[in-house]
Amino acid sequence: MAETTKKAEAEQANFDRAVAIMRRLRGPDGCPWDREQTFDSIKPYTLEETYEVFDAIERRAWPDLKDELGDLILQVLFYSQMAEEAGHFGIQDVLENLNAKLVRRHPHVFGDAQAEDSAAVLRTWEKVKATEKKDRAGGRLDDIPRTMPALLEAAKIGSRASKIGFDWQHASELFTKLDEERDELRAEVDADPRNQEAIADEFGDLLFVAVNLARHLKVSPEDALRGSNAKFRRRFAAMEHFAGGPEALALLPTSEMEELWLRAKQEERGKEV
């Protein structure tokens, strides 16, 4: 018990110090750069730090993750301090809101509700969320951020529509729809390859269906594409190695590049066996 209390006190002290440092940086005698920042100017850093957290997790680089999580917490402190200065809310309000939400959405832990498995937990979570949002104006899709990565947004939109039964019933229907969208894209390209607006529209439809097929197959489209990107990077790096370096590879004819690609692919598959 004493050990737990000591750890909690240290955590509280470190958090309080971080809040105090942020206030000092934004204060009259603080850092000129920090004082000049606004909600809009900080947004790109928030996105960058989030991606760096993802990268550290994928690399299983735990020291890097510790550092990047600190940078992400800094973003929260920064926004909260600016909001406090503007009279909107402070970090204390953010934490109180978070604590209340966590307790409210976990009645099986902090209340008398029962949840026998993860599926039951998710049903309860969605039910509580729906109750929280029932008094808010707007449609079912309005609270899905339009600024999130497009693949993730498409999956969210499809999932949300599915909750009221507006969805394909089986993955097989999506394979058929995928063929249909591919044909429509091909028709636009054949009709006028310069009509970029029409081509982009059909290409978007194709991607939207592909994302929803992934959802039906319980595959994260973002993770799937990231995995394919990583695979291409590995094989391309192997091609450069086989050729004697990046510059040497660039001088080869396409036919030889394709041979090196097949070699890289075969060697990679050989290692998987």
Using one digit for the tens of pLDDT, what is the confidence trace for 156-200?
999 999 999 999 999 999 999 999 999 999 999 999 999 999 999
CA 261 vs. chain centroid, Å, equals 31
Share of the chain above pLDDT 90, in %: 81
Q: Choose among 80, 96, 67, 68: nearest CA to 26.
A: 80
Per-residue pLDDT tens listing for the chain (273 residues): 678 889 999 999 999 999 999 999 999 999 999 999 999 999 999 999 999 999 999 899 999 999 999 999 999 999 999 999 999 999 999 999 999 999 998 998 998 888 888 888 888 888 887 777 776 767 889 989 998 889 999 999 999 999 999 999 999 999 999 999 999 999 999 999 999 999 999 999 999 999 999 999 999 999 999 999 999 999 999 999 999 999 999 999 999 999 999 999 999 988 764
pTM surpassing 0.75? no
Q: List pLDDT tens digits, range 120-166.
A: 888 888 888 777 777 676 788 998 999 888 999 999 999 999 999 99
Q: Can you tell me the distance from the alpha carbon of 189 to that of 184, in angstroms, rounded to the nearest whole number?
A: 9
